[in-house]
Structure 1
Amino acid sequence: MALSPSEIRQHEDDAPKLRARDIADTLGISEADLIAARCGTGVTRLNPHPDGLMQAAQTLGPVMALTRNDSCVIEKVGVYENYHSGEHAAMVLTEDIDMRLFPSHWRHAFAVEKETERGVQRSLQVFDAAGDAVHKIFLRDGSDVAAFEAARIRLRHEDQAPICVTEPRQPVEAAKGNPEKLDILRTEWQRMTDTHQFMRLTSKLRMNRLGAYRSVGAPFVRALATEAVNTMLEQVRDLGLEVMVFVGNRGCIQIHSGPVHTLTPMGPWQNVMDPGFNLHLRADQIAEVWAVEKPTQRGPAVSVEAFDKEGMLILQVFGVGKEGRDCRAAWGALVAKLEGLSEEASA
């Protein structure tokens, strides 16, 4: 029997120190269900399209941007600017807030005001059709509270019922290869001039990312030990390299470009705890890791990419290749020395 909004609110009140996601999991509901239960009492349902939400975000001043999947959370502090709308994909392009947005998955949105030990916490929160978090924006000291209030009124949805109509969660697509097209994959891979061509190539060949990696072989990819991700982060820190870390879900990809200074392991979590940049990675949920090299007009793009046991992409890491800050050669050398899967198996 489904829980009523009042029952959901009571469960949340009884566990004030638990994260919303954990409470929702305990109750067998989505996080959007949990948030919606407070519509009218600190929560306002908003029109979810990113055009309106990003326009609002650009008025808030310095905030914290958060994007997550089941195994990784990225948090960046900065100012939303330079938003580019798009029917299928949109972008926010700044040094600190760098995002790719996929509007079809922005299905539910809320302005949330929550009493905490440190005062009222204000946020804009976006969820997909299943009620899973797509992206969240948290106000900080120095954020424009008046702009938040104005956005809450301007973007207010006509439906303020304390329920959320969600759809069943879509399973992660399993690795999909196509042995009959393997020669074409290798030939076309060599001809790529931009990393963005990769997804079009795999789609054309009726493959997906992980299926292509499992099929194509050397010199394009190399299977790594799962511990390689932690080793990679430690070496990036120790060498002072700048990297691009991509973390996302179906509706949003968020990117950190810069160094990694402070690693703080806690149980199964590996955490980056730097000013303006936090990363929380469940290392125990990494099932496959690949070192990948794709040709581009500016030289090879080398990445380390981690997947969970379902085949979902957890995160990707590239070397920064910006003019004056080109770490790609040192990054490529680092990746080349990471422990391979066969080496692990024979150890």
Structure 2
Amino acid sequence: MNDLTPARLRALKAEGTLRPFDLAQQLGVPEAALVEAGLGHDAIRIDPTLGRLIPAVTALGEVMALTRNRSCVIEKVGTYHDFHDGDHAAMTLDTEIDMRMFPRNWVHAYAVEAGGRRSVQVFDAAGDAVHKVHLRDTSDAAAWDALRHDLALPDQQTPSAFGPRAPVEGALIAESRAEMLRSEWSAMSDTHQFNTLVRRLKMNRLGAYRLVGAPHARALPVAASDALFQAIHAQAQQVMVFVGNAGCIGIHSGPILSLKPMGPWLNVMDDRFNLHLRADHVAEVWLVRKPTKRGAAISVEAFDDQGALIYQCFGMRADRGGDPEGWLRLVEGLAS
């Protein structure tokens, strides 16, 4: 739209009637364009390189880390610790802020200070949000000033050229390799072998689930998604919930203490963990078993109507305080 100048975008944001994600969707612009409209006003373009950015974020102390996809948002309060950098994948390993990051999708980054709120916001090449860091009252103000100064890029004026959004990859199924899939699935000893297996067989996650059959993967009713969170809450199960996008995955490990449905949203509103799930986006739910050296890793996984992964939920291992037998009873009960 030709009238969506940076000044107009700033004015629309200032009205404050919609969240940036929803406003961007309504206007048909990348969410990053809304942020970039603030260059020279309330935003600074910064270096998105993980090896520079995450140590600077660590210095901020306690913050809120937010990762989302179209259908689900995970928010964790804590401090970034134990950062491991890598060319293809990186991670932070902390009991609260536990993340997996994929550097090629950390393309645009900004330090934003607007309305008394301070945040670091990272986007992919299409301008879709990858990860956001929201400062809290207890965050280190000096570290924030240092981040804005040290990571600022030389060019603070030239508009970014956001590329097209990659289409969602629907289920990829190779019918002729079904027996090979079942055989090699049974031989897995670690869940991380799964992605390599399905790529080699020219499939993807959802395609493999649809093809492999029981006992490895079983379709559940769509209503099992809501029932899952209700049961975790009621039974005080310790779980691991994974929510992410192509550039970042946020992980919650522990219980779910507070559930608050509101319209189409299912909300977890715990003190240091929030999750917001568009329950009406869930189109497929799968109960998945993957063999490991420690026994079967059993997960419940939800997908939208385009085949995009919304979330994964695993029971916590016994050595980390989980109840594997209770988790097995819980997920088996979801079939009904």
TM value normalised by structure 1: 0.95
Deviation at 1:326, TM superposition (A): 2.7
> 1:25 and 1:75 mapped to 2: Cα distance?
21
Aligned to 2:148: 152
TM-aligned CA distance change 1:324 to 1:98, over 3 Å? closer
* Counterpart code for 2:129: A
Corresponding pairs, count: 335
Among 332, 339, 343, the alignment partner of 2:335 is 339
Give structure 2 stretches of 5+ with no counterpart: none
- Is 1:229 the counterpart of 2:225? The answer is yes
CA contact (8 A) 1:246 1:255 kept: yes
Of 315, 323, 334, 2:319 maps to 323
- Tell me which amino acid in the other structure corresponds to 1:63: V
Task: Report the residue type matching 2:212 in the other structure.
Answer: V
Match of 1:246 in 2: 242
1:262, 1:273 within 8 Å by CA — same for their partners in 2?
yes
Which residue number in structure 2 is paired with residue 344 of structure 1?
Answer: none
1:178 partnered with 2:174: yes
Q: Map 1:1-347 to 2 at 5 A.
A: 1-2=1-2, 3-13=4-14, 15-115=15-115, 120-161=116-157, 163-321=159-317, 323-339=319-335
State whether residues 258 and 269 of structure 2, in contact with CA within 8 Å, keep that contact through their aligned partners in structure 1: yes
Unaligned runs of 5+ in 1: 341-347
Partner of 1:305, secondary structure, is strand
Q: Is the 8 A contact 1:88 1:103 kept in 2?
A: yes
Number of the residue aligned with 1:343: none
Percent identity, aligned pairs only?
A: 53
Partner of 1:264: helix, strand, or coil? strand
Please tell me the residue identity of whatever aligns with 2:58: Q
Q: How many Å apart are 1:28 and its aligned residue?
A: 1.2
User: Using the alignment, how far apart are the partners of 2:73 and 2:170 within structure 1?
Assistant: 22
- C-alpha separation between the residues in 1 aligned to 2:43 and 2:208? 43
Q: Cα RMSD between the aligned structures? A: 1.0
How far off is 1:337 after superposition?
1.3
Counterparts of 1:98 and 1:208, CA distance in 2: 25
Quick check: 2:239–2:322 contact (8 Å CA) kept in 1? no
The ranges of structure 1 where at least 4 consecutive aligned residues each deviate by more than 6 angstroms after the TM superposition are none
Q: What is the distance in 2 between the residues matched to 1:169 and 1:17?
A: 25
Mapped partners of 1:12, 1:178: distance in 2 = 46
Deviates most, 69-78 or 323-332? 323-332
Q: CA deviation at 1:322?
A: 5.1
